[in-house]
Every structure is written in C-alpha cells, then in structure tokens.
Structure 1
Amino acid sequence: MPVYTVHAPVTNHAGVGATDRFAFVRDGFHFWAVVLGAVWLAWHRLWLALIGWIVVMVAIDFGLAALGVGRTAILLVDVLLALLMGLEAASLRRWTLSRRNWRQLDIVVADNLEQAERRFFDRWSAKRRAFGDDSVAVDRGGPPPTRDIAGQPFSRPPPLPQNAIIGLFPEPGGSR
C-alpha cells in the first residue's frame, strides 16, 4: 500500500484552517518523473530542483562527451539518472515544501489519494474534537451563540409566543 505524507502551510492563523491547501505527497516510485523529469518538476513547481536537474544533466552529458565516452554509455547514465529522479521525486517535493515553510502533519497509508484524504481528515477531525479545538466547525442549524449576561446584546433571545405562527397566514385555518 502506498504511504502518503500530509503537509500544511505555516501561515498566520490560516495554516491549519486552510484544509484545501493541504498537500498529500505519495512516497515511492514516480513513473512520470522518470519519463518526463523536467516536465514533472515544472508541473509540481519544484523550480530549484528543476534548475539543479538541468544543470546536472547538462554537466554530466558534456563531461562524459569531453572524456570521450561513447553515446551508449552516456544514454545509460542518463537512464540511470532518470531512474534516480523517479525514486527521489517524492523526497524533492517534501524538501521543497519544507523549504517553503510547510510542516508535515501526518503519515497516512492508503490505496489511493482519495482514501488517504478520507483517512487523514477522519483522524484529524476526531483528534481536534477530542482536544476541544473545534473552532472552525459551526452548527448552522442551531441558534447563534449566546451569553448569559442580562442587558447585553446577544444575551438570550426573547422567548417566542406560544400561539405565534411564522409565515404568510397569521392564524391556523384562517382565510387565504
């Protein structure tokens, strides 16, 4: 089963509340990073890694060509470097996220990204409720929060009359 690491941005009071910005990074081999290394790095906005990848590939290719190594050997070295990219692609993403001041929140084991998100958010929300840190959740069906201090705004609302009907008709069974 794949292992995912969950990362969140560290910003002023919005890091943990901005759940739509959480990043799930799958650990393991990334096929598209092998096949299209530079495109994969650009797609994931790993700019320093992309620059480093281009510099390393060009330096190794020109260095081997200057040493008089054959084209087959240079191609073999390029394939080995591409395989290395596929194996270390997730580490490059995690490194870039930590460099951008993101923090790792959790590690999740799941079959795919959707299950990883579900498992993480189930566990994360249960943990937040257990600590009483449910500041983001709002019960939309209940009355607004009240205070028990008399005479202040937003204290207890006045009680509803017993025979009051809210709607278009003032009394039950009345004419329309």
Structure 2
Amino acid sequence: MRTYTLHLDRDALAGEAHGLERAHLVPDGFSWAAFAYGPLWFFLHRLWLAGLGVLVLLVLTAVAGHLLGLTPVAGFVVTLLVSLLIGLEASSLRRWTYARRGRPVRDVVMATSVEEAEFKAAARWLAGTATVRPAPALHGGLSVPPSDLAIGMFPFSEGQR
C-alpha cells in the first residue's frame, strides 16, 4: 500500500465539497518519472521553482564534473546518483510547493491505487472525519515563552525551596 497526501486550500472546511475539485493527491515514495525526466516532470506539474532548482542542480553537476576532469563513466555515475536523489525527493518538493502556495497537507490516506486514494480521501473529507492538521503553536509546543527559558538553570524550581 502506498501513502498519499491530500492538499486543499487553507480555508477549505472538512465536510464541504467546494474545494475538492481543486484538490491534489501526492503519492509518497520514489518517482520514476521525476528520476527519468528530471526538470521536465516538475514543469509538467507546474512546480516552477523546484523545476528550476533541479535544472540548476543538474547543470552545476555537469559543470563540476567537467571542471574536475571526470571520466565519462564517472560523470554518468554522478549524474545517475543526482537523478536518484531527484526521484527520491520529488514528492517532498511537490508537497513543499503546495504548502508554499497555501495548500497544506489536509489529510493522509493509504491505498493501493490513485483511484482508491481519491475515493478514500473524498469520502473522509466529505464525512468530516479527515485528520485536519492544527495550526502550529506560537512557541513550538513550549508551555512558556522562549524569553522565560534559562539554559543550565532551573528558575521554575526556585520557589519550592
């Protein structure tokens, strides 16, 4: 089974069908298409910044290989490893781009196919049982503001002496 993340607009409410037509499901795991086609895969998915970043990474890899005087076999291996990294990180870059555009992860489903994932995600969203992530805390989950923290001292226990 594969894990899929559901990305909806930030203001979409669970139980409402309004935002589902613009929803995106992103499969987690290795992307063979991103491995094979690199920046073209990102541009096809309208991930412009990530695509430009991958293109720059590939060009810098080629230039560095040429300047270091790598043999063609070594250059091929380095390019293959960079492409492997691109295939591994493609879905993470896609999720990052959607979150940056105001479409954070709203639900996570496990399914054997894209169709099953779409069905499960839509059913959970319309039923209102989707696991909507809460907004991040102001102080990263701390019970006191960072200005009241002291490293190496225990100011909270001084009143108990």
Q: 2: CA distance between counterparts of 1:12 and 1:126?
A: 14
C-alpha spacing 1:127/1:18, structure 2 compared with 1 (3 Å): closer
Question: Larger deviation: 48-57 or 118-127?
Answer: 118-127
Give the alignment's TM-score, normalised by structure 1.
0.67
- Residue of structure 2 equivalent to 1:154: none
Inter-partner Cα distance in structure 2 for 1:123 and 1:60: 44
Corresponding position of 1:2: 2
Question: Per-residue displacement from partner, 1:5-34 (whole Å, max 9, x unpaired)?
Answer: 001023589x97221001100001111111
More relative contact order, 1 or 2 (CA 8 Å, 6+ apart)? 2
Instruction: Name the amino acid aligned to 1:3.
Output: T
Q: Secondary structure at the match of 2:26?
A: strand
Distance in 2 of aligned mates of 1:67 and 1:127: 57
**Unaligned segments of structure 1, at least 5 residues:** 129-176
CA apart distance, 1:66: 0.8
TM-score scaled by length of structure 2: 0.73
The percentage of counterpart residues that share the same residue type is: 39
Runs of 4+ in structure 1 off by over 4 angstroms are: none
- Counterpart position of 2:147: none
Which has more radius of gyration?
1
| Higher helix proportion | 2
Give the gaps of 5 or more residues in structure 2: 130-161
* 2:115 is aligned with 1:123: no
Contact kept in structure 2, 1:8 and 1:16, CA below 8 Å: no
Q: Is the 8 A contact 2:12 2:19 kept in 1?
A: no
After superposition, give the CA deviation of every residue in 1:96-149 in whole Å (9 maximum; x if it has no partner). Answer: 001111121110000111111111222222226xxxxxxxxxxxxxxxxxxxxx
Number of residue equivalences = 127
Alpha-carbon RMSD: 1.9
